[in-house]
Structures are given as structure tokens and as C-alpha cells.
């Protein structure tokens, strides 16, 4: 007798993480090549001795620290197990079967998965020149729309939308429809025209901003992110849909340590170095004949179309692992200078003719 499982599981796309290959440089998962800062590691080791106790389910100390740092009320902040967990909780909070969730495509690979699991319908709006088509997304809003995801900067293309376009879009969204501004890569933004989502909360009560400690802070392995909502009803809903004790004691302590002034200064310097390398890598790729849109994240995008999988496989032969999206393109994480040099050597060997 076969088990009775949900039929939708047969159609559910699988999340494909970046691969690790022994002996090769991994530039496939948008991780920072820097480890956590030394004092953060010390805090992790110290708090690990308390692992026999459950973590604080509400992450009170971290919530307070974030609220103070960001200049918002405590009830506007909710901590989660990485921003992707908060995306999942948000979908669970707003969408039932037969509802609709709108997002750009291609964008963060988890969006269609968590939408399908909820039973809602995914409305995917194609990018235009690798950038969100916000006008097109607004046009797809119906009476069934419950949530829109805007990944800014976008994963995997690294492109970002500016303030004017984003504000125009937010004003077009009905006030009862939630907009999730996914800013997982916010710390890497260098273009002053790309708005800080927090500056938009006062005007748009239906807006929630999602961020993470995984990228710039180097805590990807600990899984801790946070949401800042204009309306505390959103963070209350996130609390209701959170898996109990999902943010470990170690993750909370590491995030708290990462918010200390000395850590912030070092994080900013690391981000500056990533930005400089990002510019160097993109410039080199452009000289080699690749089309590479401007990136505001810690990665670059090579739109290789039908050649994507073959190009990525050949890159791996050069001992560099990148993230391939079949028939679309390759996303390459910005590593340290040595790693980036190895990638550029492979890219040169595989450069388009002419």
C-alpha cells in the first residue's frame, strides 16, 4: 500500500543549492569568502556550552538590538531562520489555496517553491533586460493577489531598481496586498539611487523589508535573518507561522555580536573590498566579450542562454564551480582576489570568439 502524500509534491520544483566540488573553488552560493569575525567566533564558542537549553523563541535581545540600530519600534521587527524562512512564513500568513503571489522571473529560486507548497498560484513576470518589470508586475495584480516579492538587488542577476520606479510601483499596489522587499544583499549596494527599504515604510503600511546575516555578515551556516514591517500586524503574523525555537541560541548570539560597533566597522570594510572586486571582475568580463549587467550584489550574472550548462561544466573543468540556471545564465559569486583571478582565467579560456 503506497503512502498518501500531497499530489502537488510530484510537480514541486526542487531547490538546487550551489555545488561544492573537492579541490575546486566554490563561487556558486553567494557566500562571503570571509569567516565570521574573531570575536563573533568567540561568542559562538561560549554560547555553545548552553546548547542543552532551548533558545529564546522570540529572540528578544536580538530583536531589541535590531530595533535600536534600525530606528524602528520593537514590534516592527521579527527575527527568523534566515530571510528565506521569513519568506516562507510570510506566504503561510497571507495566502490560501487559490490565492496568487506575484514575483519576477528569473528571481530567487525559493519563491515558486514556497508558493507551491502553500497551494497558492505563482504569477511569474519576466525580467526586462535582466531587471524587474515593476509595471508588468503591477498589471498582474488581481482580486486574488495576496503578496508580491521584489528582490532588490535581484538574485541571480544582481540588478536593482531605483527609488522612483519602486515608489511608483508601491503606489500602484492596493493597500491590502503585502509587498515583501527582499533586501538580502542590501549591504553590497553602491548605487545611491537604489533605495533603502526602511525609508519607504512610513508611506507604505503594506510593506515588509527582509534582510539577513548570511551574506555580508558571513553567518550563512547559522541561518538568521529578520523582517521589518510598517504594520506590526505583519510581524505578529510572522510570529504565528514561525516554527518554534527555529533560531538557535548560537545564531542569536552570533548576530548580536555582529551588530557591535567594532564588528560593523569591519563588515563595512569587507563589503567595500567585495565591491572593488565586483567592479574588477565585471570590467574584465566585459573586456573578454561577455554581456554582464551592472550588479549591486556580491555576485555577477552572465546571461549565456542555451550555452549555460555547457559553459558551467567547462568552468568546473578549470576547478571553479559557478551556479548555472539552465537556458538562462550563470551566477558567479565574488570571492577573494585569488579566487576571482582563478575564475577570470577560466572565463578567458571559455570566452566567446571574436
C-alpha cell at 154: 535581484
C-alpha cell at 347: 572565463
Report the chain's mean pLDDT, rounded to a whole number: 95
Question: Does the pLDDT value for residue 143 go beyond 70?
Answer: yes
CB contact at 8 A, 228 and 63: no
Question: Does the pLDDT value for residue 18 go beyond 90?
Answer: no
CB contact at 8 A, 189 and 163: no
Percent of residues, the chain, with pLDDT higher than 70: 99
Each residue's pLDDT tens digit, 161-189? 999 999 999 999 999 999 999 999 999 99
Please report the pLDDT score of residue 47 as a whole number. Answer: 94
Each residue's pLDDT tens digit, 283-339? 999 999 999 999 999 999 999 999 999 999 999 999 999 999 999 999 999 999 999
- Burial per residue of 149-184, b for 16 or more beta-carbon CB atoms within 10 angstroms, e otherwise: bbbbbbbbbbbbbeeebbeebbeebeeebbbbbbbb
Please report the pLDDT score of residue 354 as a whole number. Answer: 55
CB contact at 8 A, 47 and 253: yes
The owner of cell 488581481 is 142
Each residue's pLDDT tens digit, 227-266? 999 999 999 999 999 999 999 999 999 999 999 998 888 9
CB contact at 8 A, 97 and 120: yes
On the CB side of 297, CA atoms within 13 Å amount to 27
What does 305-353 look like in DSSP terms, one character per residue?
GGGHHHHHHHHHHTTEEEEEETTTEEEEE---HHHHHHHHHHHHHTPPP
> What domains sit in the chain, N to C, each tagged with a CATH number?
7-35+262-349 (3.90.1150.10), 38-260 (3.40.640.10)
The arithmetic mean of pLDDT across residues 265-272, rounded, is: 93
Question: Does the pLDDT value for residue 127 go beyond 90?
Answer: yes
Question: Does the pLDDT value for residue 17 go beyond 80?
Answer: no
Q: Going edge to edge, which strands form the sheet with 25-27?
A: 25-27, 320-325, 329-333, 299-302
**Angle at the Cα of 175 from the Cα atoms of 174 and 177, rounded to 5 degrees:** 70
C-alpha cell at 311: 559553459
Q: What count of other Cβ atoms lies within 10 Å of the Cβ of residue 262?
A: 10
In Å, how far are 30, 55, 219, 247, 248 from 252, measured between CA atoms? Answer: 22, 8, 11, 7, 6
Lowest average pLDDT, out of 36-40, 210-214, 215-219, goes to 36-40
The arithmetic mean of pLDDT across residues 10-25, rounded, is: 80
Please report the pLDDT score of residue 195 as a whole number. Answer: 98
The owner of cell 524562512 is 85
Direct distance between the N- and C-terminal alpha carbons of the chain, in angstroms, rounded to an integer: 61
Q: Single out the residue of 94, 91, 137 nearest to residue 117, CA to CA.
A: 91
Amino acid at each position: 500500500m503506497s503512502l498518501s502524500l500531497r499530489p502537488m509534491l510530484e510537480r514541486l520544483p526542487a531547490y538546487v543549492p550551489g555545488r561544492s566540488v573537492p579541490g575546486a573553488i566554490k563561487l556558486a552560493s553567494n557566500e562571503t569568502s570571509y569567516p565570521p569575525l574573531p570575536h563573533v567566533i568567540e561568542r559562538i564558542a561560549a554560547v555553545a556550552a548552553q546548547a542543552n537549553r532551548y533558545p529564546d523563541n522570540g529572540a528578544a535581545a536580538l530583536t531589541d538590538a535590531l530595533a535600536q540600530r534600525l530606528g524602528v519600534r520593537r514590534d516592527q521587527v521579527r527575527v527568523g531562520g534566515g530571510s528565506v524562512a521569513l519568506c516562507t512564513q510570510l506566504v503561510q500568513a497571507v495566502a490560501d489555496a487559490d490565492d496568487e503571489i506575484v514575483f519576477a522571473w528569473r528571481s530567487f529560486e525559493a519563491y515558486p517553491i514556497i508558493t507551491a507548497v502553500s497551494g497558492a498560484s505563482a504569477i511569474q513576470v519576466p525580467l526586462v533586460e535582466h531587471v524587474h518589470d515593476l509595471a508588468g508586475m503591477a498589471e498582474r495584480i488581481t482580486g486574488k493577489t495576496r503578496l508580491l516579492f521584489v528582490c532588490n538587488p535581484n538574485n541571480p542577476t544582481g540588478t536593482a531598481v531605483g527609488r522612483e520606479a519602486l515608489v511608483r510601483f508601491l503606489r500602484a499596489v492596493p493597500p491590502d496586498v503585502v509587498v515583501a522587499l527582499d533586501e538580502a544583499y542590501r549591504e553590497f549596494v553602491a548605487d545611491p539611487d537604489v533605495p533603502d527599504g526602511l525609508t519607504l515604510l512610513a508611506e507604505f503600511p503594506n510593506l515588509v523589508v527582509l534582510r539577513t546575516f548570511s551574506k555580508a555578515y558571513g553567518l550563512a551556516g547559522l541561518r538568521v535573518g529578520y523582517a521589518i514591517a510598517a504594520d506590526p500586524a505583519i510581524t505578529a503574523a510572522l510570529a504565528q507561522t514561525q516554527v518554534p525555537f527555529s533560531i538557535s541560541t548560537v545564531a542569536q548570539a552570533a548576530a548580536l555580536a555582529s551588530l557591535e560597533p567594532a564588528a560593523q566597522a569591519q563588515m563595512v570594510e569587507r563589503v567595500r573590498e567585495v565591491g572593488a572586486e565586483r567592479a574588477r571582475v565585471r570590467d574584465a568580463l566585459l573586456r573578454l566579450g561577455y554581456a554582464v549587467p551592472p550588479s549591486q550584489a556580491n555576485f555577477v550574472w552572465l546571461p549565456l542562454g542555451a550555452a549555460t550548462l555547457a559553459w558551467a561544466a567547462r568552468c568546473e573543468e578549470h576547478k571553479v564551480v559557478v551556479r548555472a540556471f539552465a537556458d538562462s545564465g550563470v551566477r558567479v559569486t565574488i570571492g577573494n582576489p585569488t579566487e576571482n583571478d582563478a575564475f577570470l582565467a577560466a572565463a578567458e579560456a571559455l570566452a566567446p570568439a571574436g
